[in-house]
Amino acid sequence: MPMDKSFADTVFRNGRIYTSNRKQPWATWAAVRAGRFIAVGEERDVAPLVGERTATVDLGGRMAMPGIVDIHNHIMMGGQADLYELRFASSASVAKIAETLHKAASAAAPGAWIVGGQFGNNLLGEMNTAESCALLDAACLGHPVVLRDDSYHNRWASSAALRLAGVQADTPNPTDGEIGRDLKTGTLTGIMIEAASGLVERALAASGHYTAEMDRAAVARSISVLNTYGVTAFIDAASMQPIMAALKGLDDRGELTAWAVCAMPVVEPGFMFGKAGEELFALREEYRGAHVKPDYVKVFLDGVPGAKTAAFHEPYLADPVRGCCFRGATMLTVPDLIRWLGRCEKLGLAAKIHCAGDAAVTQALDAIDVVRSFNGPTHLVHQIAHASYITPDDIPRFAALGVAADLSPIIWYPTVFLEAHKAAMGDERAQRFWPNRDLKNAGALMAGGSDWPVIPIPDPWQGIEGMVTRQNPTGDFPGKSLWAEQALDLATVIDIYTIDAARAAGLGQTIGSIETGKSADLIVLDQMIFDVAPDRLADTRVEMTFFEGRKVYERA
């Protein structure tokens, strides 16, 4: 009798398995041993691997496909908000926020921090007054409180929190930040703009409010949410030490249920605080695990179009503050970016470069062009994140330079984001947004992502439908399309969310398709997506998610 090790641990049978493998796009059976596919094909290919101890998953004719890769999210935030934060809607008024806070403060342990969010950033003006500050302090019952806004860039802190942060009436504003003061009285209001947020966030971090255990639980919660949508791999797009520690902690315990690629910021981002750059890179091997890959860096080259902080070739619409000819600016010069990229390539790190405006895209491509010319070919795949406003001349450069387009967040159809962009740069320009078809035709490697929590739910199926229809899958903006010519066919889109995203994440040999030797990351769907109307794609529900052959989610 053959030894057990020649048999499969698990066999999937009777499925309509879409593999994302061009050489064998469809299969009905697949076998798994030790977390890897060992056979993919028809019954006759796989059945001989069924032994006495082999578990069988009967797919019952349902569609299965590779686990989805989310090329861009912020893995700590969603879970942390879910588990430990006081939640209120971004539409809540100051009075409503104070009421919610008062209830939480009454129940909180003495001296404990209260962290909450997210308030609408339209409230910043109203909050930045002595009156609102008094309301906040009354509600918080002496607890240190920090509330985050919906952009994650600004904070509202109670007086107790400011005291712990060492912020006083005469504390100077930090570079790139402002400490809110009442216009009439000059007293602190608790409002902390941009870099000033770091003063309070660092005090919160120093307090030990979030323990390593809490961080692990937050990340685990986020990943379990991803698993429900069929996501089994992701890039965390701004990996600070606590995030990598949590991922590594879960992996060491055998509790990590997705491949985690970490992009470590080259400089401290505006919304997260702690070690960055060389100091952080130096620690990366401490956090590497079987499924944790700290192999990317994150570079922020500009901001966002809605706030007119993205860098464009053409000016924004004139406004009283910026005048007629404001184009936004990049945060690094080309030589600075070249230096970072050169350094990263020496360290074996690829870069994810945030470029929301077309001028930022051009600058990133220019820098990569220089680096390629001097350094020659590389296996590293640099990414341009949010590759959405791209000047036509730059489209072919993605493929020419081997740069991947990180398609995130999921807004390639009419959304409120687009409305803000129209206000910033006019209708016509705003709608030349996400030239996905042009990128595809030019041979660019493209990868789908959520940018969760920028998008409140990390549901790739909305993105998949939107990429095919260019219409809003939620029913908002009915009948309206965003640049319909840029629609893609479903098979291409599934590649973008599986094998192509895996390649962009540096894991093309390990995940992204159902083929022998690859990680057995497989999801079972409630509908045959190639048979349904495109506007039903977002209704797709994941029935089961398998990570390395292990079931990590089953729909109730």
Q: Which residues bind another protein (CB under 8 A)?
A: 335, 338-339, 342, 370-371, 373-376
Is the Cβ of residue 370 or residue 532 nearer to another protein in the bound state? 370
Least distance between another protein and beta carbon 366 (Å): 10
Is the Cβ of residue 45 or residue 336 nearer to another protein in the bound state? 336
How many angstroms separate the first and last alpha carbons of the chain? 40
List the strands of the sheet with 68-73, edge to edge: 68-73, 231-236, 259-265, 292-300, 350-354, 383-385, 404-407, 445-448
Least distance between another protein and beta carbon 282 (Å): 18
Least distance between another protein and beta carbon 4 (Å): 51
Is the Cβ of residue 64 or residue 338 nearer to another protein in the bound state? 338
Least distance between another protein and beta carbon 539 (Å): 50
Tokens of 409: 């967040």
Q: What are phi and psi of 296, to 5 degrees?
A: -125, 155
- Residues 269, 275, 280, 283, Cα dihedral to 10°: -150
Is the Cβ of residue 57 or residue 371 nearer to another protein in the bound state? 371
Residue among 468, 461, 482, 448 at smallest CA distance from 534: 468
Is the Cβ of residue 178 or residue 366 nearer to another protein in the bound state? 366
Is the Cβ of residue 335 or residue 443 nearer to another protein in the bound state? 335
Residue 113 exposed, middle or buried by CB count within 10 Å (0-12, 13-18, 19+) = buried
Is the Cβ of residue 275 or residue 343 nearer to another protein in the bound state? 343
Is the Cβ of residue 247 or residue 338 nearer to another protein in the bound state? 338
CA distance 494 to 514: 13
CA distance 318 to 308: 11
Is the Cβ of residue 370 or residue 423 nearer to another protein in the bound state? 370
Q: What are phi and psi of 233, to 5 degrees?
A: -160, 150
Least distance between another protein and beta carbon 344 (Å): 11
Q: At what angle do helices 241-252 and 75-84 cross, to 10 degrees?
A: 80
Least distance between another protein and beta carbon 44 (Å): 53
Least distance between another protein and beta carbon 520 (Å): 41
Under a CB-based contact definition with an 8 Å cutoff, are residues 77 and 269 in contact? no
Least distance between another protein and beta carbon 336 (Å): 9
Tokens of 526: 């409630």
Least distance between another protein and beta carbon 333 (Å): 10
10, β-bridge pairs: 32, 55
Tokens of 460: 């790739």
- Residues 465, 469, 472, 478, Cα dihedral to 10°: -140
SS (H, E, C) 32-70: EECCEEEEEECHHHHHHHCCCCCEEEECCCCEEEECEEE
